[in-house]
Amino acid sequence: MQKRNTVLILGILAFAIMIIAQVIIIRGGWKQIDEMLYLRYRSLSQDANASLRGSRSMVFDTVNYLLDYYAESVVKELSQITDSQQLANKKDEIFEYFSTVLNKEQDLSQYLSEYFKNQGAEDEFNHRIAITNLEILGADTSVIYRDPSFRDRRSSRDFEGFAHSLTGSTSSILVNRFWFDRNNYALNFSYFIDLTFKRSTIFRELSASLGMSIFSIIIVVMIFLYTYRNLMEEKRLSNLKTDFINNMTHELKTPLATITVAGKTLEMEKIRTDESKIIDTAKLIGKQSVHLNQLINMILEISMWERTEFELDKKKVDIEEIMNDIVTSFRTGYRDCASLTEKYTFNGVKADVDLVYFTTLINNLLSNAVKYSEKEPVINIEGEADNNNISIKISDNGIGITKSDQKHVFDKFYRATSGNIHKYKGLGLGLYYVKRIATAHGGDVTVNSKPGKGSIFTVTIPY
């Protein structure tokens, strides 16, 4: 258990480290491409900006016309407002108007877009205008808005550090800072672009390494799961083998102990004079030897069944007749301790079966039905034949089998009651043989069970 947990924890740790390493690598790649795009588009926008010199005001012609006209109309209004709240509201309104007109009517975005396209670059971006100073000029100049970082009205120097500190990232590129000094207003603003295609471009550029990372992670996880499963399976098999050896020792010891005691009894003086006692003891020794022999044969058979596909000596037999024979002899053996009812009609079907193995199959199921029961066993045998198969259903009212055990009961050495192995004797081989015999006949066996309610084993064999 501890080894299993250590392997699991180490595996998860290694997996986490690997994912972190991959994330760091991808993030590094992401940053590099992001920076590259930023530098490329910054230099493109600066080139575009430089090529505008001389005709720069052209792209803001409409803006200037509309704003000057508007500013003229508000100069008087502003000087007449005395209430400070009203003045603040008016200033907000003016700022809003300037912002809207600037954003809507400028042609710089159009110009940049065409410039980018001509240079073979992507032309999708969002522009952003940040007003840093706005004054309405009249008899009394009134400042509508002034950014705390604003210094000089007559400066339009590109100042990259400022742009960076303003945006704090490479997602916005400062194209230029503008200032307009018109008849009725003075305005300073910065014009930024955000590259909307950046994310998808980076994804595209990184897709190969991203794909490879994910692929390698999947492969590593699969290898880990596969190895872990194998380890668990090995552990399970080794536990099964240990259980089997314990069970086998226990099974072999019982007849041996009886034989030893019987031997000692025969040595006793007073027994030797009583002929009937000698015969009884000899019979007991004989019976236990047969049982011992059966156990040893069973153990020997496992390795034989494992090495070779066992050969069936098939004969055409009337299934109903065979079933009657098996049930009769079983009933004779268990007359006192189990009630057995049979309800099968095979319509005289004759199937190719190996008589010895088929009898073993049914007997194993019947004796399990008796063995795994805590009250008086009630066993039903049903059977029918359709066009292709005969099916035999053996149900009991025993202790039942849990869902997780049902998956393994046909495995070699598997015992669902391994926690309490000596309560029900066995070697975990009965159902393994049942399965092998059924499949050797081209058929199958399945189980349906509820703990505490009983179990139903269904055997199908083609004919």
Strands 185-195 and 172-181: antiparallel
Minimum Å distance from CB 278 to ligand ADP? 35
Q: Is 431 in the site for ligand ADP (CB under 6 A)?
A: yes
| Interface pick for ligand ADP out of 113, 188, 368, 397 (rule CB under 6 A) | 368
Give the residue with the Cβ less far from ligand ADP, 264 or 425. Answer: 425
Indicate whether 255 belongs to the interface with ligand ADP (CB under 6 A): no
What minimum distance in Å lies between the beta carbon of 378 and ligand ADP?
Answer: 12
Q: How far apart are CA 450 and CA 223, in angstroms?
A: 36
Span 59-88, contacts to ligand ADP by CB under 6 A = none
113 binds ligand ADP (CB under 6 A): no
Question: Which residues lie below 8 Å from residue 33, measured CB to CB, with a gap of 6+?
Answer: 201, 202, 205, 206
DSSP annotation string for 294-322 = HHHHHHHHHHHHHHS-PPP-EEEEEHHHH
Q: State the nearest-atom distance from the C-beta of 456 to ligand ADP, in Å.
A: 9
Number of residues binding to ligand ADP, judged by CB under 6 A: 21
Among residues 90, 177, 198, 415, the one that binds ligand ADP under rule CB under 6 A: 415
- Taking alpha carbons only, the member of 462, 332, 327, 316 closest to residue 382 is 327
Question: SS3 of 419, please?
Answer: helix
Query: Is residue 426 within the footprint of ligand ADP (CB under 6 A)?
Result: yes
Does 116 sit near ligand ADP (CB under 6 A)?
Answer: no
Radius of gyration of the chain measured on its C-alpha atoms: 46
- Could you tell me the smallest distance in angstroms from the CB atom of residue 258 to ligand ADP? 20
CB of 364 to ligand ADP, least distance (A): 6
Shortest Å distance, C-beta 341 to ligand ADP: 16
Part of the chain binding ligand ADP (CB under 6 A), chosen from 150-158, 262-270, 346-354, 364-372: 364-372
Write out the two tokens for 65. Answer: 């016309």
Regarding 417 and contact with ligand ADP (CB under 6 A), the answer is: yes
| Contact assessment for residue 357 and residue 396, using Cβ atoms and an 8 Å cutoff | no
Query: Residue 217 and residue 22: Cα distance in Å, rounded?
Result: 9
CB closer to ligand ADP, 180 vs 310:
310
Q: Does 399 bind ligand ADP (CB under 6 A)?
A: yes
Sign of CA dihedral 203, 208, 212, 215: positive
- Check residue 397 for interaction with ligand ADP (CB under 6 A): no
Q: In this complex, which beta carbon is closest to ligand ADP, that of residue 209 or of residue 246? A: 246
CA-to-CA distance for 98 and 95, rounded, in angstroms? 5
Single out the segment in contact with ligand ADP by CB under 6 A; choices: 141-149, 277-285, 332-340, 411-419: 411-419
Amino acid letter, 102:
L
H or E segment at 200? Answer: helix 198-267
For residue 445, state whether it binds ligand ADP (rule: CB under 6 A).
no
CA distances from residue 37 to 72, 113, 375 in whole angstroms, order as listed: 43, 16, 80
Among the listed ranges 153-161, 294-302, 380-388, 414-422, the one in contact with ligand ADP (CB under 6 A) is 414-422
The whole-angstrom separation of Cα 112 and Cα 106 is 11
Annotate each residue in 370-389 with x if it binds ligand ADP (CB under 6 A) or - if it does not, as one string. --x-----------------
- Alpha helices in 310-429, H assignment, sequence order: 319-333, 355-371, 403-406
118 or 242: CB nearest ligand ADP = 242
Give residue 440's identity as a one-letter amino acid code.
Answer: A
Q: Single out the residue of 308, 38, 322, 28 nearest to residue 168, CA to CA.
A: 38
Binds ligand ADP (CB under 6 A): choice among 213, 414, 436, 461: 414
User: Which residues lie near ligand ADP (CB under 6 A)?
Assistant: 368-369, 372, 396, 398-401, 409, 414-417, 426-432, 455
